[in-house]
């Protein structure tokens, strides 16, 4: 072989076969492309392309793809300037390591000067195959897995999973289990929105907001740790009930959370509501219309900020949440500022629910008495043969779930969090698919961002509140 042979791809080339003798060390690993300089026959094998595979911004001749990236497919809510191809256009990659992408989201953007013309969100950097993993875990182990998806709303993940499994099993849980579930998920919503307020403040320059948000969230997490043993990824809500009863003195802890967080939220509003910089950076920025929300499947606070008054807790109530009094705050403009106001109002409403749950906490068992789902108490195993058998079967095999297909969703902090579960009988799910609210929100980012300024990208992204663990699963 001489160095004028055809270029060899690195995938099928052993080191001996690489033609160019000057290729040594690390450069051998690169994909080599031929570059011919006109007038010479000389080859420059070191030149590497900027090939990004299938994930590059698509060529302009694909109309639908272009409309998606320009955010004009559904609704053109910005009055954009006519298409001017200028030399100023450039492609900028934001992420996947950008600090304000809240994880590993990559946005490929076409800029015209300071204006965003096209956006393509690229995801998958945090994909860990949890839906595949779920098929190898039994239903008792399943909630350990799903709690790690949206790591800022672990209780909601567990709740959606448990409700779906219970739906297939056809069992109801005791009143106390329902009340504990509502208490925990609403506190989780508070914690999640507090973290959102903190990071959103940081992203748009209100740095003290970050410290305040984390400070109040810490009070919630301390209570979670006391009740479940863990600050995150609790595995607390399980099919059939919850893992343990509330700890001693939980009433005082909850009352403390309500006091501290209410005071904290008042402080945020004092800090931000009349702050001209904050208002300038959020009002009229990142607008998404109700029609776009419906088409892209955007739910939760983003849709409510656009004026869609839909909340699963009201429309399709779960866990007896309809017994508590609360309002569903909605916005009118669908911009970043309305999303901020909706979320802050939701913190207050969730605290209202928490207060009512704590006041009317029913007594009784916190797990279903069904022996096919709940393991027997330790003492019963010594006395009863059936209890021993049930215990053995539950821990060697797991809960057996009848065949069927079920879908159940809960109102997570980011929108509709749904679990689509296919069972063929047996102790393991056949297929578990998650309807992740952040996945839909990321998909709608082009509609929020295009034809706005590059500085507003961070504000729009922060207001969408995507959790990449939820997006990529």
Partner 1 sequence: MEADLEPAADHAAEDETPRAASTQVASLLERFPEARFLERSYASSATRYTMVEVPNEDWVAFAEAAKDSGFDTFIDLAAVDHYTDAPRFEVAVNLLDIATAQRIIVSTRLPYDDPSLPTLTGVFAGANFYEREAYDLIGIDFTGHPDLTRILLPDEWEGHPLRKDYDVGAIPVEFKAGSVNL
Between 68 and 394, CB nearer to partner 1 = 68
User: Are residues 23 and 1 in contact, defined by beta-carbon separation less than 8 angstroms?
Assistant: no
Residue 139 binding partner 1, by CB under 8 A? no
Nearer to partner 1, 80 or 262 (CB): 80
Regarding 74 and contact with partner 1 (CB under 8 A), the answer is yes
408 binding partner 1? (CB under 8 A): yes
Instruction: Return d(Cα 112, Cα 461) in angstroms, integer.
Output: 19
The closest alpha carbon to 292, from 416, 439, 444, 414, belongs to: 444
List the beta bridge partners of residue 289.
none
Q: 185 and 410 in contact (C-beta within 8 Å)?
A: yes
Chain residues 371-400 in contact with partner 1, contact rule CB under 8 A: 372, 400
Q: Rounded distance, CA 8 to CA 149, Å?
A: 42
CA distance 152 to 130: 16
Backbone angles phi, psi at 245, to 5 degrees: -75, 165
| Burial class, 347, CB count within 10 angstroms (exposed 0-12 / middle 13-18 / buried 19+) | buried
404 part of the interface to partner 1, by CB under 8 A: yes
CB 165 within 8 A of CB 399: yes
The rounded Cα 73 to chain-centroid distance in angstroms is 24
CA distance 199 to 203: 6
Residue 65 or 230 with smaller CB distance to partner 1: 65
Q: Nearer to partner 1 by C-beta: 30 or 231? A: 30
Q: What distance separates the 2 farthest-apart alpha carbons in the chain?
A: 93
Select the residue interacting with partner 1 from 401, 457, 461, 467 (CB under 8 A).
Answer: 401
68 forms part of the interface with partner 1 (CB under 8 A): yes
Omega within 30 of 0 (cis) for the link into 96: yes
Nearer to partner 1, 251 or 397 (CB): 397
When binding is defined by CB under 8 A, the residue of 99, 247, 369, 403 that contacts partner 1 is 403
Say whether residue 316 binds partner 1 (CB under 8 A): yes
In the complex with partner 1, the residue whose CB is nearer, 127 or 348, is: 127
Site residue total, partner 1 (CB under 8 A) = 70
308 binds partner 1 (CB under 8 A): yes
Q: Find the binder of partner 1 among 442, 449, 457, 468 (CB under 8 A).
A: 442
- Token code pair at residue 245: 């009863």
Nearest to partner 1 of 161, 212 (CB atom): 161
Which positions ≥6 away from 103 have C-beta within 8 Å?
Answer: 125, 126, 466, 467, 468, 469
Please report where in the chains the tokens 């001489």 appear, as a residue.
Answer: 2
Q: Quick one: which of 77, 110, 112, 131 contacts partner 1 (CB under 8 A)?
A: 131
Cα–Cα distance between 137 and 133 in angstroms, integer? 7
Does residue 457 interact with partner 1 by CB under 8 A? no
What is the distance between the alpha carbons of residues 76 and 234, in angstroms, rounded to a whole number?
A: 43
Residue 96 near partner 1 by CB under 8 A:
no
- 323 scored as a contact of partner 1 (CB under 8 A): no
Asked if 191 is part of the footprint of partner 1 (rule: CB under 8 A), the reply reads: no
- In this structure, how many other beta carbons lie within 10 angstroms of the beta carbon of residue 455? 12
Q: Tell me: does residue 13 bind partner 1 (CB under 8 A).
A: no
Q: Which of 107, 168, 209, 254 binds partner 1 (CB under 8 A)?
A: 168
Q: How far is the CB of 90 from partner 1 (least distance, A)?
A: 22
Q: Which of 166, 216, 346, 349 binds partner 1 (CB under 8 A)?
A: 166
CA distance 39 to 23: 24
Binding residue for partner 1 (CB under 8 A) from 210, 260, 328, 422? 422
Footprint on this chain of partner 1 (rule: CB under 8 A): 53-55, 58, 62, 64-65, 68, 73-74, 123-124, 127, 129, 131-133, 136, 163, 166-172, 292-299, 308, 310, 315-319, 370, 372, 400-409, 416, 418, 420, 422, 425-426, 430-431, 433, 435, 439-440, 442-444, 472-473
């Amino acid at each position: 072989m001489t160095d004028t042979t055809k270029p060899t791809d690195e995938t099928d080339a052993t080191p001996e076969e690489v033609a160019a003798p000057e290729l040594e060390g690390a450069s051998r690993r690169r994909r080599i492309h031929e570059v011919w300089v006109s007038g010479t026959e000389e080859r420059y094998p070191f030149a590497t392309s900027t090939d990004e595979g299938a994930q590059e911004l698509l060529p302009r001749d694909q109309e639908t793809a272009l409309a998606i990236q320009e955010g004009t497919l559904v609704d053109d809510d910005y009055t954009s300037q006519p298409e001017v191809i200028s030399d100023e256009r450039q492609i900028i990659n934001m992420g996947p390591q950008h600090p304000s992408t809240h994880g590993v989201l990559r946005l490929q953007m076409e800029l015209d000067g300071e204006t965003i013309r096209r956006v393509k969100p690229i995801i998958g950097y945090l994909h860990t195959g949890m839906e595949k993993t779920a098929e190898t875990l039994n239903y008792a182990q399943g909630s350990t897995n799903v709690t790690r998806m949206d790591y800022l709303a672990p209780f909601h993940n567990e709740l959606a999973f448990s409700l779906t499994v219970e739906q297939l099993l056809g069992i109801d849980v005791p009143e106390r289990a329902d009340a504990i579930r509502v208490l925990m998920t609403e506190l989780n919503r508070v914690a999640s929105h507090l973290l959102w307020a903190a990071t959103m403040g940081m992203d748009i320059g209100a740095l003290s907001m970050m410290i305040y948000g984390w400070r109040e969230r810490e009070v919630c997490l301390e209570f979670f740790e006391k009740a479940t043993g863990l600050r995150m990824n609790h595995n607390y809500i399980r099919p059939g009930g919850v893992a343990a009863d509330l700890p001693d003195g939980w009433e005082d802890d909850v009352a403390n959370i309500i006091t501290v967080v209410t005071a904290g939220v008042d402080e945020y509003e004092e800090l931000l509501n009349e702050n001209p910089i904050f208002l300038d950076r959020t009002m009229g920025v990142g607008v998404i219309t109700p029609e776009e929300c419906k088409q892209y499947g955007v739910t939760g606070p983003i849709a409510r900020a656009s004026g869609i008054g839909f909340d699963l807790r009201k429309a399709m109530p779960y866990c007896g949440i309809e017994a508590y009094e609360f309002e569903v705050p909605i916005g009118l403009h669908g911009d970043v500022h309305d999303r901020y106001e909706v979320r802050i109002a939701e913190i207050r409403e969730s605290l209202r629910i928490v207060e009512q749950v704590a006041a009317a906490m029913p007594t009784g068992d916190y797990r279903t008495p069904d022996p096919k789902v709940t393991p027997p108490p330790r003492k019963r195993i010594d006395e009863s043969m059936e209890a021993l058998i049930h215990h053995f079967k539950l821990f060697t095999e797991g809960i057996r779930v009848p065949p069927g297909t079920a879908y159940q969703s809960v109102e997570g902090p980011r929108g509709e969090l749904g679990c689509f579960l296919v069972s063929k009988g047996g102790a393991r799910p056949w297929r578990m698919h998650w309807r992740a609210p952040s996945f839909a929100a990321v998909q709608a980012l082009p509609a929020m961002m295009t034809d706005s300024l590059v500085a507003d990208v961070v504000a729009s992204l922060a207001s969408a509140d995507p959790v990449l663990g939820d997006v990529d699963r």
